[in-house]
Amino acid sequence: MSNTMTELRAAYGEIADLRAAMGLLEWDQQTHMPKEGFATRGRVVATLAQIAHERYLSPRFDELVAAAEAEAPPGDDAITLDLLRWERDRERRIPATLVEENSLAVTASYQAWEEARKTKDFAQFAPHLEKVVALRRRFADHYGYDAHPWDALVPGFERGMTAALIKPVFDKVQPRVTALLKAIQSKGPAHDLSFLDQRWDPDAQWAFGMRVLADLGFDLARGRQDRSTHPFTMGMAPTDVRLTTRLKAESLFSALMATAHEGGHGLYEQGFRPEDARTPLGHAPSSAVHESQARLYEYRVAACLPFWRHYAPVLREHFPGQLDNVSAEQLYAAINEVSASFIRVDADEVTYPLHIILRFELELELIAGTLAVRDLPEAWNAKMRAYLGITPPDPVLGCMQDVHWAEALFGYFPSYSLGTMFGAMFMEKMEADHPSLWTDMEAGDFRPVLGWLRRNVHTVGSRMKPLELVRAATGREFTPEPFLHYLEAKYTELYRLGG
Amino acid sequence: MSNTMTELRAAYGEIADLRAAMGLLEWDQQTHMPKEGFATRGRVVATLAQIAHERYLSPRFDELVAAAEAEAPPGDDAITLDLLRWERDRERRIPATLVEENSLAVTASYQAWEEARKTKDFAQFAPHLEKVVALRRRFADHYGYDAHPWDALVPGFERGMTAALIKPVFDKVQPRVTALLKAIQSKGPAHDLSFLDQRWDPDAQWAFGMRVLADLGFDLARGRQDRSTHPFTMGMAPTDVRLTTRLKAESLFSALMATAHEGGHGLYEQGFRPEDARTPLGHAPSSAVHESQARLYEYRVAACLPFWRHYAPVLREHFPGQLDNVSAEQLYAAINEVSASFIRVDADEVTYPLHIILRFELELELIAGTLAVRDLPEAWNAKMRAYLGITPPDPVLGCMQDVHWAEALFGYFPSYSLGTMFGAMFMEKMEADHPSLWTDMEAGDFRPVLGWLRRNVHTVGSRMKPLELVRAATGREFTPEPFLHYLEAKYTELYRLGG
């Protein structure tokens, strides 16, 4: 490595350290911070964000980038240079004052969101969301865009992605998923799931989730799990990765699904190469790739029949007397029960894409200004009725359910479904590479899954762009077909739709 | 406030924010961080320390200080200017590379200390301590000093203090404390304390400690308590103050004493004026003043007879069947039991100053280089024999018991005893101002204590220097006499030494 690249990496490393500190401040804010800590926490995060921004745009950083460009280094250095230059150029478009203003607004908005949820009062949250949306539009204006201001925001999560690229994919997926959902609804349940209607001790749920997390390969010497209102993952380094889950006594699977989902994120964060730490390489190439890992562990692993053939006896031990006559097949049917429901994170695999498409469409309108924030609850409910046939009784079950918009994460939602589709392609290839994949899982051995992902996804880091990574890992161009094929096959069998 | 002062406060505020983030990183490191998180944590803290250091020494900061000096502002602005100029001038003497080197060395040293304690192996820790001591000497050389290099380090905790000023105070205290200890040892216990020899459920200890903490006035919406190896307090802001305690099943009082001690620190941190946040005014004027609050709550509150007259029934409820025949007087005698023991933080009120004097003397020698680190265990044990008549069987019970030296806190230890002496002066005045003080406490009302401290100590912040604050609060010049008088009177009665 040249001296220039060494210095450039050191300069970038300081920015990475500031971001790691911000990660911890945000993790703490959602897990351990005393209630009134909000007053000053936003200020601290804003200062760190501002310093990171300044460092990116400092003359010294520019000099190093220019010197590195002149040297035109090969291999990883070339990718590193491309990534940090792209990030810098994007950062450069935003004035430091706007960064600070945004950071303070987001902290206040998060707090307002948490408070407003207690009283189910959208009006309390609305002024904060208006401010966040207005700030997003100002960001979009600074970034620049051709077709839609939303296109200016999405590259923060999916570089090179636009509304015009996503829409045809979603337009292909939606009618087939809608057809599947209608078939399921007209057929009705094929299994007796009345056992679900019990109280599930949160401590036992926690213990079972921790057991599964360790079995999946999450290293608890390099990470931990906590509780928070909305589950999330924060990776400070591959040696320090934090997940959260939530525990609901009325739901047998909610905590496990959150643990498996965040566990997928966490396994990814633990799987970056140690030597990529503090460089642009030690990250996912996009949010969709990150979500591919989360959705894969949530559904393809934790909601498959071999998983439940292995864990049914373990779950019975955790809830003595509550599951004695419940088979692995019933647990599998229960965790995959399809029903139109209000909450995205609790949504089943079939209705989930509809929740995403709804948010994608509303986001486009909010950012374009064709939908006013005050009209959001009504627009939300109208789409819920149209796509899922149900009307949320209050905003906590409607447009205030997700933390994303409160945290200014506009442009993120499509990543979940794109990620699910990437995951379906990974699974197809993984099955081909490991014919014993499902029998291994049934024996409680999840190493083939993690091994395949470590080799083909995790250790790649940001060395490839998302669609390149999908192509390299699977040998195919990106397509939603494997996802649709998997979904239709699985639920046709589960709901006996074929007959 | 002038524009100059507004800008200067904003510039200082950013440094305060970086320090707040470092506070959280360090709190997390000792409470929640996964084991292997150490690898990168030191790097993050070092980067933040370096940025804070750079900001202090930036030309912009210098310009603002010079402009403010020219304006010669009155009142709080004058004190703010004096404090931050003094801090800056001290910071300026240390090269940025040394700050970074020190920060990395301290993180490694803390880790080595924790690891070496597991195997009780001083040799494993020694190279790290040598590095820390060598770095302390380099810091002392940069700061400059007249009589002793230690004098260059102590102003970080006690501005204006020197070894030559402390030694006569300790020389006055030590013979009278030694005489008291010998009298106690020759007389023997006056109460049956055999009830202490039971197992005390850590969860019940935790619950009792949380109850006391709330009763003392610690606001749990603006703070929290966690567990750590070594109890400490971290205040990010008056709205976010974190204590830790430790739970030992074999000790009824260890957790409570830690909670009361850290609670004293925490009440102080919660008591700074909100408008002093992010300024040099919103801090204790010295470590001794901070320790005065901790030691006051630990001994003058949580180890007085009225406290136990109130809490004896509460404690009985927390340990059903274990304390049925134990009186408030026995609990009072038990928590104040005097015995020469190895661990400072578990030491009683009488032997405690001897632990401090031992450390003070060893520190002077380590920093002067007249004692080599490899000879520390032997020197420690020799002094333990001379002052307390006992020899630690291993370094965890000896020179590796405290985190301070591992964290480069040389110059801190005297603060505990100076603080105890300040606290004795505060209590003398508080008793005079509130004749019903002890009957209020016996009724479980601790508001008179907190109210007096809020008015006379907490809200003062750094507006006065330590000895000025003591004078303003008590109307007397600093003297160890009230401490010695209190100690002799209390233990003469407890051990019936009079007869």
Contact B236 A44 (CB under 8 A): yes
Q: Could you give the count of Cα atoms lying within 13 Å of B94 in the half-sphere of its Cβ? A: 28
pLDDT class of A284 with cuts at 50, 70, 90:
very high
Q: How far is B99 from B32, CA to CA, in rounded Å?
A: 26
Please report, for residues A117, A124, B68, B163, B265, the alpha-carbon distance to residue A120 in angstroms, rounded to integers and kept in the order given. 5, 9, 50, 62, 38
Residue pair A270/A453 in contact (Cβ under 8 Å)? The answer is no
**Nearest-by-CA chain B residue for A224:** B34
Q: Phi, psi (5° rounding) for residue A241?
A: -125, 125
Q: Is A104 on the interface with B (CB under 8 A)?
A: no
| A1 has a pLDDT exceeding 70 | no
Residue pair A356/A350 in contact (Cβ under 8 Å)? The answer is no
Q: Is A210 on the interface with B (CB under 8 A)?
A: no
Residue B136 Cα, gap to closest chain A Cα (Å): 25
pLDDT tens digit sequence for A314-361:
999 999 999 999 999 999 999 999 999 999 988 999 999 999 999 999
Q: Which of residues 272-291 of B touch A (CB under 8 A)?
A: 277-278
Please report, for residues A104, A107, A366, the alpha-carbon distance to residue A39 in angstroms, rounded to integers and kept in the order given. 10, 9, 29
**Nearest CB partner across the interface for B21, out of A25, A33, A237:** A25
Contact B24 A20 (CB under 8 A): no
Residue B378 designated active-site: no
| A103 has a pLDDT exceeding 90 | no
Residue pair B406/B110 in contact (Cβ under 8 Å)? The answer is yes
Contact A44 B36 (CB under 8 A): no
The one-character DSSP state at B463 is S
**10 Å Cβ neighbour count for A324?**
9
This model of the complex carries an ipTM of: 0.88
Q: Is B35 on the interface with A (CB under 8 A)?
A: yes
Q: What is the dihedral of CA A85, A87, A90, A91, to 10 degrees?
A: -110
**Nearest-by-CA chain B residue for A35:** B221
pLDDT tens digit sequence for B95-152:
888 988 998 899 899 999 999 999 999 999 999 999 999 999 999 999 999 999 999 9
Encoding tokens for residue A120? Answer: 């189910």
What pLDDT does A189 receive? 82
What pLDDT does A51 receive? 94
Residue B44 Cα, gap to closest chain A Cα (Å): 5
Question: Which stretches of chain B drop beneath a pLDDT of 50?
Answer: none
Tell me the helices (H) and strands (E) count for chain B, helix number first. Answer: 20, 3
In sequence order, the β-bridge partners of residue A243 are A225, A233
Annotated catalytic residues of A are 262
Largest CA distance in chain B: 70
Residues 6+ apart with CB under 8 A from B282: B238, B272, B273, B276, B461, B462
Residue pair B150/B410 in contact (Cβ under 8 Å)? The answer is yes
Residue B147 Cα, gap to closest chain A Cα (Å): 39
Q: Is A340 on the interface with B (CB under 8 A)?
A: no
Residue B103 Cα, gap to closest chain A Cα (Å): 14
**Nearest-by-CA chain A residue for B43:** A17
Task: Sort out which chain B residues have CB atoms less than 8 A from A43's CB and list them.
Answer: 13, 17, 278
pLDDT tens digit sequence for A168-218:
999 999 889 989 998 999 998 888 999 999 999 999 999 999 999 999 999
Q: Is B96 on the interface with A (CB under 8 A)?
A: no
pLDDT tens digit sequence for A429-466:
999 999 999 999 999 999 999 999 999 999 999 999 99
Q: Is A396 on the interface with B (CB under 8 A)?
A: no
Residues 6+ apart with CB under 8 A from A43: A104, B13, B17, B278
Residue pair A474/A430 in contact (Cβ under 8 Å)? The answer is no
Contact B18 A47 (CB under 8 A): yes
Q: Is B39 on the interface with A (CB under 8 A)?
A: yes
Contact B47 A220 (CB under 8 A): no
Contact A32 B236 (CB under 8 A): no
Q: Which of residues 6-25 of A touch B (CB under 8 A)?
A: 13-14, 17-18, 20-21, 24-25
Q: Is A42 on the interface with B (CB under 8 A)?
A: no
What pLDDT does A230 receive? 85
**Nearest CB partner across the interface for A40, out of B33, B39, B240:** B240
**In 3-state terms, what secondary structure has residue A240?**
strand
Q: How far is A299 from A335, CA to CA, in rounded Å?
A: 9
Q: How far is A438 from A309, CA to CA, in rounded Å?
A: 11
Contact B37 A13 (CB under 8 A): no
Contact B239 A39 (CB under 8 A): yes
Question: Based on C-alpha coordinates, what's the Rg of chain A?
Answer: 23
- Give me the total of CB pairs closer than 8 Å, taking one residue from chain A and one from chain B: 115
* Mean pLDDT score, A393-397: 97
What pLDDT does A153 receive? 96
- Please report which helix (H) or strand (E) contains residue A244, including its range: strand A240-245
Task: Sort out which chain A residues have CB atoms less than 8 A from B18's CB and list them.
Answer: 47-48, 51
Q: Is A223 on the interface with B (CB under 8 A)?
A: yes
Contact A34 B236 (CB under 8 A): no
Q: Is B484 on the interface with A (CB under 8 A)?
A: no
| A386 has a pLDDT exceeding 90 | no
Residue pair A244/A329 in contact (Cβ under 8 Å)? The answer is no
**In 3-state terms, what secondary structure has residue A12?**
helix
What pLDDT does B1 receive? 58
Residue pair A12/A84 in contact (Cβ under 8 Å)? The answer is yes
